[in-house]
Structure 1
């Protein structure tokens, strides 16, 4: 009975996160007037073509993307915890990962606020390269090598907070110490993130 209740709670937490992600993405699209930016950019290259509608990402794509990423991160950290002989129920870890992912919704809000009310006169290039509280903001991205853009965007304060939040939730729900929790989360998730960044860099270099 308790397990069924846990499954239901995890499902509801994840469902709420998906709904917020879709809602925030929709606000991001509408408030920043991305459709107009895309149309104007498109017409620069194809001025004789009529304007068409550019819709935001399909809600199914957002849901599937978040589901896959959440399960992969949870599985990776679960395996690492098991290897370190630290017992934790997978549902407990999954719940921690989902709750920690809410930090990324703040990133979307900050991007909307900065581009809409601070930068104001932004272009599609600004939109595609801006990433709140990331290393990319320390550089003039127009002069940054193409293969460096993604890693500079990905290394940001929200990723660091994500690691600390997972650590906090694991420590709160289990008897695993904060130090050990952080060590496992940072090494497992951090290594996977670096591997992913390296893969994207190779892909970018091969296609540039």
Structure 2
């Protein structure tokens, strides 16, 4: 499937389905209400439920917006990285593959469903909210980490590593070089941007927490 529009539509549908399964199978709404009941009144909870139900459709709108924004930015950085080392590649090729590679990030959602459904069956809303599949944060435990350090430790995960390697192999193949050269391009372009984003997120979290 080489048409980026069809790929994008399939990815969005899959992401919405996975998110819906995640919410329903783990019964997130009930867990969230249970968590809120410890700090607010029943009247406030009722208002929250009504407000959430009226805005539920927004979740389906934000999914394609988030995906297209993410893959376009990553594709631009990779395209710029290839340009700097004088490797000729079309932006459409990179964008199409970035959309394909984004399917990797459906796996953490599936892993999370399996983990909380069959392994850690006794859990709270906070446990799910702070969970990051196969990440350093999970290995350490979010209760042992300062809030401002959550995001970088969540970013260090197995699926992100697989994503890097897949991008590197593709760039090496399409530019007729090798995976090592592809990994250098991914690290210098996407990696640099990701590092900057993580740093900014840490700074903002630290200042507003």
Using the size of structure 1 for normalisation, the TM-score is: 0.91
Match of 1:181 in 2: 182
- Whether 1:135 and 2:99 are equivalent positions in the alignment is no
- Whether 1:190 and 2:191 are equivalent positions in the alignment is yes
Instruction: Within 5 Å, give how 1:32-47 maps onto structure 2.
Output: 32-47=26-41
Write out per-residue CA displacement over residues 147-197 of structure 1, whole angstroms, 9 at most, x where no aligned residue: 111111111111111011112222333323222111101221111111111
* 3-state SS, counterpart of residue 58 of structure 1: helix
Write out per-residue CA displacement over residues 82-109 of structure 1, whole angstroms, 9 at most, x where no aligned residue: 0110000111111111111111101110
Say if 1:170 and 1:181, in contact at 8 Å, map to a contact too: yes
Instruction: Within 5 Å, give how 1:1-208 maps onto structure 2.
Output: 9-49=3-43, 50-51=45-46, 52-53=49-50, 54=52, 58-208=59-209
Name stretches of at least 5 consecutive residues in structure 2 with no aligned partner: none
Question: 1: CA distance between counterparts of 2:168 and 2:37?
Answer: 48
Question: 1: CA distance between counterparts of 2:150 and 2:135?
Answer: 11
Question: 2: CA distance between counterparts of 1:181 and 1:149?
Answer: 29
* 3-state SS, counterpart of residue 30 of structure 2: helix
Write out per-residue CA displacement over residues 7-47 of structure 1, whole angstroms, 9 at most, x where no aligned residue: xx111111111110111011111111000011111222112
Say if 2:108 and 2:159, in contact at 8 Å, map to a contact too: yes
- RMSD between superposed Cα atoms in Å: 1.6
Say if 2:170 and 2:182, in contact at 8 Å, map to a contact too: no
Name stretches of at least 5 consecutive residues in structure 1 with no aligned partner: none
Say if 1:141 and 1:149, in contact at 8 Å, map to a contact too: yes
Shift of residue 129, structure 1, vs aligned partner:
1.1
The alignment of Structure 1 onto Structure 2 pairs a total of residues equal to 202
Question: 2: CA distance between counterparts of 1:63 and 1:10?
Answer: 13
Question: 2: CA distance between counterparts of 1:77 and 1:99?
Answer: 15
